[in-house]
Structure 1
Amino acid sequence: MDELLPLAGYCALMSGTPGPNNMMLVASGAHHGYRRTLPAILGINAGGAVQTFATCMGLGALFTTWPALHAALKLAGTLYMLVLAWKLAGSAAAQDRPPERLGFAEAALFQAVNPKSWLKAITLASVFMPPQLGIVPGALLVSLVGALIGFPCISMWALFGTGIGRFLGSPARRRAFNAIMGASLAVLALMLLR
């Protein structure tokens, strides 16, 4: 229990604070509602759990051995987030319709290029892996705790977006909201690049 509380606290902090996943969930919740955003929430959770498990099983050691591989993945993730930010910011400018929503598979795969997800997975593997359980059970425990804590935390962001969506009745408000969310995602991507 002494080790589970800090692990749960770290997972809540990483899942509950602003990041690429949460910015996309706010936008999706605002445009599509919580129920239609749920596949993305589940995809983020599943992708994060697989990523954490793989990292606990040794991917973190690979990145430590070849830092250039991690740097390349970080750059690719930042560029992808900038593309998403551009699409989000311009989604309602050309035509008056909401941006496409991420599905389960897209959200799960996005974790592979999300720098914040990698930071979380590597920290979970290096700081919170319980060595007394063995590698596979320890990796499963850390991944499961991350997913269980992450689900309500990221759901709050989608619900926040759903609440905001009620105020986006006019095309001008939707365009402004999309521009703000796109700019926020772009700034976040550039900050994670450091």
Structure 2
Amino acid sequence: MNITSFLIYCFIVTFTPGPTNIAILSIAHHARFKEIFRYILGASAAFGILLAVSVLLNSMLASILPKILVFMQIIGCLYMLYLAYQVYKMNVSGETSGQAATFISGFLMQFANPKIWLFTMTVIPSYVMPYYKSSFILLIFVIVITIIAFLAFGTWAFFGTVFKRFLKKYQKVTNMVLAGLLVYSAVEVSGILK
């Protein structure tokens, strides 16, 4: 097993912009640390669950993968467009930003995030399972990858918090850019450009 390639893949997928990371960045400049942390914990918990399910159900999912991918592309694209709209109209004042930063919202975001579905369905079966069959070793990899994702989410929250003043000063432009990135993600996931 090429550990370097595996880690590079994990870091690139978890640290690059995606629906969860962009949502965390947006939430970070509107919410308190405690709220952001709850959201990150929810996102990380769901991420770990999806990885574990991928390990347990890999053979079954492989046979129905095309059906899941089409469904996830449609749902994921629509959800990302909805999220883009929410980010675009987000306001610094009011309670809506605090309500969005909950454990449950972070948790549920992962189940509607096709980037996470595709990653969790491919990373362990592609990189780990050809070399390791032990349940304990597979669990270790699930934990390691989940920690990498948690660090990625935390990094996005950190930058959202550090640049809070800048993001508030240029809120409309920031919201437009973040919403644009989500629309771009939705277009990519939809398969329209292929």
| Interval containing the TM-score (normalised by the shorter chain) | 0.7 to 0.9
CA distance in 2: counterparts of 1:164 and 1:81, whole angstroms: 24
- 2:116 matches 1:117: yes
Quick check: 2:132–2:138 contact (8 Å CA) kept in 1? no
Distance 1:107-1:63 versus aligned 2 partners, 3 A rule: farther
- Which deviates more, 82-91 or 30-39? 30-39
Q: Read off the aligned partner of 1:154 and give its amino acid letter.
A: F
Alignment of 1:112-191 (within 5 A): 112-131=111-130, 133-134=132-133, 136-170=135-169, 173-191=170-188
Per-residue deviation, 1:83: 0.8
> Secondary structure in 1 aligned to 2:100?
coil
Q: Segments of 4+ in structure 1 off by > 4 A?
A: none
CA distance in 2: counterparts of 1:132 and 1:175, whole angstroms: 49
When normalised by structure 2's length, the TM-score is: 0.85
Per-residue deviation, 1:131: 4.6
Q: Read off the aligned partner of 1:161 and give its amino acid letter.
A: G
Alignment of 1:54-69 (within 5 A): 54-59=53-58, 61-69=60-68
Per-residue deviation, 1:47: 0.7
Cα deviation 1:24-63 (Å, max 9, x = unaligned): 1110111114443111111111111110110111156325
Give the aligned CA root-mean-square deviation in angstroms: 2.3
- 2:20 matches 1:21: yes
CA distance in 2: counterparts of 1:84 and 1:168, whole angstroms: 18
Per-residue deviation, 1:96: 4.5
Q: Read off the aligned partner of 1:27 and give its amino acid letter.
A: S
Cα deviation 1:105-132 (Å, max 9, x = unaligned): 2212221121110121122132122455
When normalised by structure 1's length, the TM-score is: 0.85
| Runs of 5+ consecutive residues of structure 1 not aligned to the other structure | none
CA distance in 2: counterparts of 1:96 and 1:179, whole angstroms: 17
Quick check: 1:88–1:182 contact (8 Å CA) kept in 2? yes
Distance 1:138-1:130 versus aligned 2 partners, 3 A rule: farther
CA distance in 2: counterparts of 1:105 and 1:60, whole angstroms: 29
CA distance in 2: counterparts of 1:84 and 1:169, whole angstroms: 19
Distance 1:66-1:150 versus aligned 2 partners, 3 A rule: closer
Per-residue deviation, 1:162: 1.0
> Secondary structure in 1 aligned to 2:149?
helix
